[in-house]
């Protein structure tokens, strides 16, 4: 069962599981997800979608071997406009899905985030780092929801004998990201393709480590198969500044859009880069897609969607 199935990462995860021969039940309340993301699975007898909000209890008939919890608003724009829903998905959603896993004697995998490290004072970030998080700032609704979800997951493992894993997902990009979701890659692609200025926050010197969606999905499934309790970082240690990313995407799109600078959001992390020693040694996982290839795949998919929309209208 995949909660958050119609989201960006969730939909790719469902596809990969079905490709590997699994029978998958997807669950999503469509708050930020989109059924179109699951269009490739419409005809598959191995996939079923249930519209449900995991902040309410959920029952499923039959056996369940694995519960993957990705249900949450994930982009800054979404969790800032949906703060209470974000907190509830981290708290009540995690509780109800852990209870489901307990009832089904299933393994539980929590999709946590690099945001639990806040604006890190350690670089790169190891799983042992406790973070530098503002608990009441504008980003806290997402940061603290995931930190609580991790604590709840660890408690169920200790006290209820449930097999659990926690993956901390770093910045992921690829096809199906909404152009208006506030994250850098889809925003820059949309701006470059529509010949408007690329808006870089601050002076653009802040860094991110971008992992292509296929690699992120492979990392999540490697953790699920291994059973490492985690947390384990899933991300690409290749660091890039936001300004470099904007320039790279503009060149890739062959765009003449200028780059403009806007104020840096409050509590925006200055550096973000995972140490993936644990994932490499225990899970045998490392990212395989380099940034230029991943951006090229994302651009091709974005262009195809834009052409389809233009054709339909």
Query: pLDDT digit string (tens) for 202-227?
Result: 999 999 999 999 999 999 999 999 98
Multiple choice CATH, 2-312, 3.40.50.720, 3.40.50.300, 3.40.630.30, 3.30.390.50 = 3.40.50.720
Domain chopping of the chain, boundaries: 2-312
Statement: the pTM of the whole predicted model exceeds 0.85 = yes
Query: Which CA distances in Å does 132 have to 68, 125, 147, 277?
Result: 27, 11, 12, 21
Helix (H, G, I), strand (E, B) or coil at 47: strand
Quote the pLDDT of residue 309: 67
Query: pLDDT digit string (tens) for 20-74?
Result: 999 999 999 999 999 999 999 999 999 999 999 999 999 999 999 999 999 999 9
Q: Which residues are catalytic?
A: 142
The three-state (H, E, C) secondary structure of 73-90, written as one string: CCCHHHHHHCHHHHHHHH
Helix (H, G, I), strand (E, B) or coil at 256: coil
Tokens (6 digits) for 132? 């530098």
């Amino acid at each position: 069962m995949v909660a958050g199935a119609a989201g960006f990462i969730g939909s790719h995860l469902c596809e990969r599981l079905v490709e590997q021969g699994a029978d998958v039940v997807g669950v999503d309340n469509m708050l930020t997800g989109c059924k179109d993301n699951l269009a490739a699975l419409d005809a598959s007898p191995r996939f079923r979608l249930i519209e449900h909000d995991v902040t309410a209890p959920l029952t499923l008939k039959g056996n369940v071997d694995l519960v993957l919890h990705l249900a949450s608003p994930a982009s800054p724009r979404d969790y800032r406009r949906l703060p209470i829903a974000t907190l509830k998905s981290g708290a009540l959603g995690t509780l109800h899905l852990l209870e489901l896993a307990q009832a089904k004697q299933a393994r539980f995998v929590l999709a946590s985030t690099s945001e639990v490290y806040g604006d890190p004072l350690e670089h790169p970030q190891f799983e042992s780092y406790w973070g530098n998080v503002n608990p009441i700032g504008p980003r806290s609704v997402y940061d603290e929801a995931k930190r609580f979800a991790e604590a709840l997951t660890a408690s169920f493992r200790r006290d209820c004998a449930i097999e659990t894993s926690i993956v901390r997902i770093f910045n992921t990009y690829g096809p199906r990201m909404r152009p208006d979701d506030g994250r850098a890659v889809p925003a820059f692609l949309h701006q470059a393709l529509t010949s408007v200025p690329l808006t870089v926050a601050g002076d653009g010197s802040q860094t991110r480590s971008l992992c292509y969606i296929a690699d992120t999905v492979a990392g999540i499934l490697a953790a699920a198969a291994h059973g490492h309790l985690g947390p384990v970082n899933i991300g690409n240690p290749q660091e890039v500044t936001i300004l470099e990313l904007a320039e790279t995407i503009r060149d890739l799109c062959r765009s003449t859009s200028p780059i403009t600078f806007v104020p840096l959001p409050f509590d925006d992390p200055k550096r973000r880069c995972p140490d993936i020693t644990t994932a490499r040694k225990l899970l045998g996982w490392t990212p395989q897609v380099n940034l230029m290839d991943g951006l090229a795949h994302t651009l091709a998919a974005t262009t195809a969607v834009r052409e389809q929309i233009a054709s339909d209208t």
